[in-house]
């Protein structure tokens, strides 16, 4: 039995939480965190995690976004027990497929006169608002259609006048206990008669959420702080419908380093883009878990299973959670180092292919070869082992996998040079040329069958004068073309004799030209 299974023993498993994304954009970091916290809460309680797609806004909801969100969450290792893709006892799980259910409850509110039809046109509403603003009042709906007589309503309907549906907002103090933020009290007298549907077939967010949370037996609503102001409205709608209220937990905002709400201004907020940029899903999960939640000890590195064991709502902070890129990079570096070579290879190959450094196309003239990749112009070929060796000497330093092409491109293409980079300290061109010539001689003599970091290092010893740099710097730059790179022995060992000699010859030609 795993530690998690042991923990679940004795729990009643009645907790039901939901993730309710609106498919109006690709998976956002904040959505991923909300989903993770719901998933963790469900898993830590032995409860049920429901996925519900909130696509009542027909203009902005796009199927491709739904797919992106669900696929993105799955890619992070999250799964759900009920949802649009897998069904369940409380379906359908897309709001666009639940119109009949909403209709029934809208009709109930209208029949009981707890809601009413509002025929005011957009222009009339705007004019009313303007008037209130000029009179120094906070704009809100004035309730013009609140007391229409049944005949007036029938008349309007008969004339084909369009209407929206508003609830009669009671004027009272309403309180709820937020599991993170404590007691919150709101004077509903300050709220207007909120619109709950654009027509009986088109419910709006606050209404659809209330109906669904009730119909799906949701016990806990865990969502972002930006929804705090919706909660009193939803509590009122629940009261009018005679529904019990779930418990609420509003997660702190995610902030940029300047403490303003995280937005595109601070860099990308899209999960896809981070993954595309070489952040690993396990690093992203670990990182977002710590955006507002803290474990009891100092531990910072968590797998999903470990998080499910440790997670509790009472360790979520009220104040905003800062998105610290350095920490994200540190975590990603840790997970890159932790990956097995077998896991790392396909990721790296994919990145190299995208950067057009290698292609996996077969080489017809080299049947039976272990060189299963070659460079784009087909002038050089590489084995998996070659790429593995490159990863072995570079992975420790990578913050993200997308750094690989720029850091290691010279293993796949001939480097280009710049004269000042080839010169070590006060070396002249002639001295560099001499160093390169000696290097060429030594490497030409060196037996290819014992071509290792150690044999290369030993073979170069006799070349050193007072300053080893006069040999090693031109060598490193000749092989890599870079100011910073792994050490020259490691590079030379991986490149192999042929490539080393070609690069040194090219640098010699360059320095003498």
Q: Which stretch binds ligand GLU (CB under 6 A): 14-22, 326-334, 476-484, 497-505?
A: 14-22
User: Is 264 an annotated catalytic residue?
Assistant: yes
- Residue 54 engages ligand GLU in binding (rule: CB under 6 A): yes
Q: Distance (Å, rounded) from C-alpha 61 to C-alpha 55?
A: 5
175 CB-near residues (< 8 Å, 6+ apart): 183, 184, 185, 186
Can you tell me which of 28, 220, 227, 250 binds ligand GLU, judged by CB under 6 A?
Answer: 227
Nearer to ligand GLU, 225 or 490 (CB): 225
DSSP 184: E
Q: Is 446 in the site for ligand GLU (CB under 6 A)?
A: no
The residue among 94 and 223 lying less far from ligand GLU, judged by its C-beta, is 223
Between 69 and 511, whose beta carbon lies closer to ligand GLU? 69
- Given a contact cutoff of 8 angstroms between Cβ atoms, the answer to whether 460 and 443 are in contact is no
**Alpha helix (H) ranges present in 277-411?**
281-289, 304-310, 325-338, 341-354, 384-394, 404-408
The residues, ordered by sequence, that sit 6+ positions from 37 with a Cβ below 8 Å of its Cβ are 222, 251, 293, 311, 316
**By CB under 6 A, residue 209 contacts ligand GLU:** yes
Catalytic annotation, pick one of 58, 159, 183, 264: 264
Query: Measured from the CB of residue 236, what is the shortest distance to ligand GLU in angstroms?
Result: 15
264 annotated among ligand-binding-site residues: yes
22 lines the binding site for ligand GLU (CB under 6 A):
yes
Is 223 one of the binding residues for ligand GLU (CB under 6 A)?
yes
- 66 versus 193: smaller Cβ distance to ligand GLU: 66
Work out how close the CB of 203 gets to ligand GLU at its nearest, in angstroms, rounded to a whole number: 13
CA dist 22 and 62 (Å) reads 9
Query: How crowded is residue 229: how many other Cβ atoms within 10 Å of its Cβ?
Result: 12
Q: How many residues bind ligand GLU (CB under 6 A)?
A: 7
Does residue 442 bind ligand GLU (CB under 6 A)?
no
Please select the residue that binds ligand GLU; options are 17, 21, 321, 395, rule is CB under 6 A: 21
User: Taking Cα atoms as reference points, which of 226, 274, 252 lies closest to residue 322?
Assistant: 252
Six token digits for residue 199: 């027509």
208 counts as binding ligand GLU under rule CB under 6 A: no
Q: Tell me how long the chain is.
A: 513
At 369 the three-state DSSP class reads coil
Q: Does 232 bind ligand GLU (CB under 6 A)?
A: no
Q: What is the DSSP string of 358-418?
A: -B----GGGTT-SEEEE-TTSS-EEEHHHHHHHHHHHGGG-SSGGGHHHHHGGGTS-----
Q: For ligand GLU, which is the closer residue by CB, 21 or 474? A: 21
Q: What residues make contact with ligand GLU under the rule CB under 6 A?
A: 20-22, 54, 209, 223, 227
- Known binding-site residue numbers for ATP: 264
Residues belonging to the active site: 264
């Amino acid at each position: 039995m795993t530690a998690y299974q042991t923990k679940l023993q004795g729990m009643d498993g009645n907790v039901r939480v939901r993730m309710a994304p609106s498919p109006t954009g690709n998976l956002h970091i904040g959505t991923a965190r909300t989903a993770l916290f719901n998933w963790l809460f469900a898993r830590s309680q032995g409860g049920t995690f429901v996925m519900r797609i909130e696509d009542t806004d027909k203009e902005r909801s796009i199927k491709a976004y739904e797919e992106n969100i669900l696929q993105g969450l799955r890619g992070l290792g999250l799964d759900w027990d009920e949802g649009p893709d897998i069904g369940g006892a409380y379906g359908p799980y897309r709001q666009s497929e639940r119109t009949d259910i909403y209709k029934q409850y809208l009709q109930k509110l209208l029949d009981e006169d707890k809601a009413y039809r509002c025929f005011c046109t957009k222009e009339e509403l705007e004019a009313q608002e303007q008037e209130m603003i000029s009179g120094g009042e906070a704009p809100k709906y004035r309730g013009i259609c609140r007391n229409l007589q049944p005949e007036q309503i029938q008349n309007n309907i008969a004339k084909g006048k369009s209407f929206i549906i508003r609830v009669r907002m009671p004027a009272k103090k309403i309180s709820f206990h937020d599991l993170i933020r404590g007691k919150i009290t709101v004077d509903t007298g300050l709220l207007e008669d909120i619109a709950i549907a654009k027509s009986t077939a088109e419910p709006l967010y606050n209404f659809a959420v209330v109906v669904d949370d009730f119909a799906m037996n949701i016990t806990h609503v865990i969502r972002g702080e930006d929804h705090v102001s919706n909660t009193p409205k939803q509590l009122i709608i629940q009261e009018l419908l005679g529904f019990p209220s779930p418990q609420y937990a509003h997660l702190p905002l995610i902030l940029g380093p300047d403490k303003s709400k995280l937005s595109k201004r601070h860099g990308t907020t899209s999960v896809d883009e981070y993954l595309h940029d070489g952040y690993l899903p396990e690093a992203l999960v670990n990182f977002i878990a710590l955006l507002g939640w803290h474990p009891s000890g100092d531990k910072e590195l968590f797998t999903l299973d470990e998080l499910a064991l440790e997670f509790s709502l009472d360790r979520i902070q009220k104040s905003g959670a800062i998105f610290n890129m350095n920490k994200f990079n540190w975590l990603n570096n840790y997970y890159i180092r932790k990956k097995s070579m077998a896991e790392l290879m396909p990721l790296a190959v994919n990145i190299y292919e995208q950067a057009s450094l290698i292609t996996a196309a077969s080489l017809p003239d080299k049947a039976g070869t272990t060189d299963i990749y070659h460079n784009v112009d087909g002038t050089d070929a590489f084995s998996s082992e070659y790429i593995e060796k490159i990863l072995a000497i570079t992975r420790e330093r990578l913050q993200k996998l997308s750094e690989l092409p720029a850091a290691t491109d010279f293993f796949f293409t001939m480097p280009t040079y710049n004269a000042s980079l080839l010169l070590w300290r006060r070396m002249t061109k002639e001295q560099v040329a001499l160093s390169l010539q000696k290097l060429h001689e030594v490497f030409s003599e060196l037996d290819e069958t014992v071509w290792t970091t150690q044999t290369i290092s030993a073979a170069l010893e006799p070349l050193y004068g007072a300053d080893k740099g006069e040999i090693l710097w031109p060598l490193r730059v000749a092989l890599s073309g870079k100011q910073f790179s792994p050490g020259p022995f490691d590079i030379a060992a991986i490149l192999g004799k042929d490539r080393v000699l070609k690069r040194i010859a090219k640098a010699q030609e360059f320095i003498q030209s």
